[in-house]
Chains A and B, each alone.
Chain A
């Protein structure tokens, strides 16, 4: 692979993804890309297939057709735990932290990987506690005792422990108070500065437009619109059509 090809190759490419839940045809040929270090937003109403797209990329749902490429190589049939090890992290809707494990144990799961030195482990912990001081305070508490916002932070921190190249974030601000929403915005910005790519699924349009470089709009399992965030704003007709009422 020549140097030119590497720099032009997107980090993640999704091509023509068709996914079913039983007979229910959720994704009707979704294609999108995320560049190295880019924040890309995936917008759409409920039930259009945003979460399913993320789950298909991460292998938690088997795509019936189409492929997923990571750094130019096909990863469509790679098992989910291997994808996590090569640098694709997933933070689901409703967080799903390990409720009966402590905060530390939740984080440990992320860095108990082969090839991570003790020094690196300490560095990662320090970094994550710098981003989320509240987690340091609660490090020995069971995950289930944390508030909604704290659980969201733990879910993101846990993903960061994987030292991922891309984080798939599914509706991180859902159900959170406005104060926490702005905290999430800051975290996304900080991750972006650190060079981590993010595929952000959201229904919060202003947040998405402010934090991403590009957006895709999904409707009924297909990409209906794709543009740079700078080319569009909340009052745009396209936004109203596919996201509003």
Chain B
């Protein structure tokens, strides 16, 4: 299933208009502001990396967007709709999918089944009696998602038997099966070898053709290669925002990372 290759240069990919607009997003825990009036705009079709030192607020940011956390103040607008404070299942229905830092797959079920269950979430029906294999279109969607993440050959393997890298990619496949418009990836290459990281990078580039991707990562090489734009967080605020080249040349960003 070859997709048309997007010929636009990476930095112009966001030109279709913002898919996500965030205004004065604040998250307080007790007296501590993990996020402090953050403003953020994400263009459709971008691959945006979110980086920053420990405790900068990246996870909190992700959690607010994906409905895991209810922000204290501010607005999150997705595709023109205000989704601030909605719970994560509703956010998933609106088209935002997420993969997690600690692998969240169902180990005792096959790879295909993992993904098919996710695909099924998009359909609602009252027929509890139909056999799970009778949903032909769901199986096709699941197989297509597995193919996108390079796991079609392992469709009938139990998820627990997959290698770590394959499990992490399965997690991306599960997110893809919900046919999202925005895919949020939380440290997708954590615990992977250099080889596995490389494969995941190709995977992300492949699936990015039809999606907008928001990715939190610590692997700087990966980020520089993959991202069309980078947002740097520090102490709960956005420190810098720009193309990989701009960020690399930004002295304030270097200072924050090296603690100079």
Residues of A with Cβ closer than 8 Å to B?
21-26, 28, 45-48, 173-175, 203-207, 220, 234, 239-240, 243-245
Contact = CB atoms under 8 A, between A and B. Distances in A.
Contacts, number: 70
B167 interface: yes
Top 8 A-B residue pairs of the complex, sorted by shortest distance between their CB atoms:
A24-B191, A204-B259, A23-B164, A47-B218, A205-B258, A46-B218, A244-B254, A244-B257
B54 interface: yes
Interface string B249-260: 010011001111
B220 interface: yes
B47 interface: no
Contacts of B258: 204-206, 234, 239, 243-244
Interface residues of B, number: 28
A47 B222 CA distance: 14
Given A24-B190, A175-B55, A244-B257, 16 more contacts: A24-B164, A24-B191, A25-B164, A28-B193, A45-B257, A174-B55, A204-B258, A205-B259, A220-B193, A220-B197, A244-B220, A244-B254, A245-B51, A245-B248, A245-B250, A245-B254
A234 B191 CA distance: 28
B243 to A, nearest CB: 12
Nearest to B51: A245
Contacts of A203: 53-54, 257, 259
Interface in B97-153: 103
B162 to A, nearest CB: 9
Contacts of A240: 254
B219 interface: yes
24 contacts: A22-B103, A23-B163, A24-B191, A25-B192, A28-B193, A45-B257, A47-B219, A174-B54, A203-B53, A203-B259, A204-B258, A205-B258, A205-B260, A207-B259, A220-B193, A220-B194, A220-B197, A220-B219, A244-B220, A244-B257, A244-B258, A245-B248, A245-B250, A245-B257
